[in-house]
Amino acid sequence: MAESQQLDKVFSALAHPVRRQLLARLAEADATVNELAEPFEISLPAISKHLRVLEAAGIISRGKRAQFRPCHLNVESLEAVARWSDQYRHIWEKRFDAMDRVMKTINEKDRDDD
């Protein structure tokens, strides 16, 4: 699959807040569907559907441990997002630097007015 298509799948999967919360939990440790569903007030089938989206995007994988299928975070797919966004870092840094200069000017003017 082309990197662009993979990024599309990952960004689409990350677009939903429940899926982002599931990833935050998986960043701590692998977990079963029941463990992941605990804090949510949605059905197990709904959680499973979210997990299938994450799995299709390559963000998680499911293992096999006896009758359990623990979910595991695949950091590599998120690293692809980090690499993609990193190409824009210089733009953000320039804008933050410019904003910092404006804020310093405003603060200095406020001190001078006092």
What dotted CATH number matches 3-86? Answer: 1.10.10.10
Task: Say if residue 2 is exposed, middle or buried (CB neighbours under 10 Å; 0-12, 13-18, 19+).
Answer: exposed
Taking alpha carbons only, the member of 13, 1, 7 closest to residue 85 is: 7
Tens of each residue's pLDDT in the chain, 114 residues: 577 888 999 999 999 999 999 999 999 999 999 999 999 999 999 999 999 999 999 999 998 776 678 999 999 888 888 888 999 888 988 898 889 899 999 988 888 776
| pTM of the full structure | 0.75
CB atoms within 10 A of CB 26: 21
